[in-house]
Amino acid sequence: MTGVEPPVTRENVRAWATETAQDATTVVEIVHAGFNDDPRCGGFAFVCDRRLAIHAVDGGFRESIDPGDDPTRTAAVEDYWRTVQHRSRPLALDDVSAWHRAAIVTLEAGLSSVADLAPELRTDVTDTARADALLVRLRRLTKEPTASGALRALASTDWLLAVPGEHDRAHPCPLCGRPALGPPRYPTAVCDDCYPRSVCGEGRPVMGYNTSLGGGFEAQHADDRSVCAQVTRDGVVWVDGQECLMGEARFGGVVVSVRQDT
């Protein structure tokens, strides 16, 4: 279940709670003046059907079992409020590492790789493959390719503030050469630009997904969301005429790799 799309207002959240509740008579607002009146990090909370749903004005959403009493509900709202305040905190370029600054400059410039930057713009970056891993993730997370957008993404994703480790490296996409993510187990994984061009044996665009939190893989046609039996069965897809394999990654997610036995 997803939350309310921005702009998030009390009326929108109440309507969402009423629409999604099995019993609309159970919809009750949990009023918290500070959270409700915070225009940047606040939001609105409602109880319905024994669940507590908290919506932030930035589009964030948390749902849990209703704790059943007002003090505990208020504590849950305040805990989520602190979470939103943390992820909405302002970050400046001076607050992040040289690796992050190089990735951000590359993102803004529209370049494919940190290696494309002038040397003076990637000072202290000793391994551009590691910086490119950071660049790929920033591209996935930012809504616009700007320094401010990248810094907002970093503020909301604490683990990404760490300098990429020795084994956290991008590799050249075997199809186009752009940086691609894939652990050593997937040395021929394609990049984020090539993945969406995957087609099945019938030439229809396909995408893969995990069938549960515990894993499992299924493919569906991108045009009508119907299950693609062929790719679900054998994983064979084509990207720009190159035979590839689509399947579940070892630790979850979906990966498309150029087939190495052809």
- Please report whether residue 3 resides in a domain: no
State mean pLDDT over 59-83: 96
Reduced to 3 states (helix: H, G, I; strand: E, B; else coil), residue 102 is: helix
| 187 shares its domain with 166 | no
| 147 shares its domain with 195 | no
Provide the token pair at 244: 């590839």
| 82 shares its domain with 17 | yes
Q: How many CB atoms lie within 10 A of CB 241?
A: 7
Number of independent structural domains in the chain? 3
DSSP per residue, 9-62: -HHHHHHHHHHH-SSGGG-EEE--HHHHH-TTT-EEEEEETTEEEEEETTS-EE
| 167 shares its domain with 97 | yes
- Please report whether residue 5 resides in a domain: no
Where is average pLDDT lowest: 45-49, 58-62, 189-193, 252-256?
Answer: 252-256
Given a cut of 80, whether residue 143 has pLDDT beyond it is yes
> So what's the pLDDT on residue 89?
94
Provide the token pair at 225: 């969301």
Sign (positive or negative) of CA dihedral 177, 182, 187, 191: negative
Cα 67 to Cα 11, 64, 113, 202: the distances in Å are 24, 8, 48, 51
Residue 45 sits in which domain range? Answer: 10-87
State mean pLDDT over 65-79: 96
Provide the token pair at 241: 């005429």
For residues 6 and 144, the model is more confident at 144
Strand partners, 179: 172
| 160 shares its domain with 105 | yes
Q: What is the pLDDT of residues 118-132, one digit of tens each?
A: 999 998 999 999 999
Q: Which residues contact 222 (CB under 8 A, 6 or more apart)?
A: 204, 205, 206, 207
Of 117, 148, 171, which closes a domain? 171
The pLDDT confidence band at residue 261, using thresholds 50, 70 and 90, is low
- Please report whether residue 2 resides in a domain: no
Q: What is the pLDDT of residues 88-108, one digit of tens each?
A: 999 999 999 999 999 999 999
State mean pLDDT over 62-66: 96
Residue 156 and residue 87 in contact, taking contact as beta carbons nearer than 8 Å: yes
pLDDT cut 90: percent of the chain above it: 86
The pLDDT confidence band at residue 22, using thresholds 50, 70 and 90, is very high
| 111 shares its domain with 97 | yes
- Please report whether residue 4 resides in a domain: no
| 104 shares its domain with 153 | yes
pTM of the model: 0.82
- Please report whether residue 71 resides in a domain: yes
- Please report whether residue 252 resides in a domain: yes
For residues 219 and 183, the model is more confident at 219
**Within 13 Å and on the Cβ side, how many CA atoms surround 236?**
11
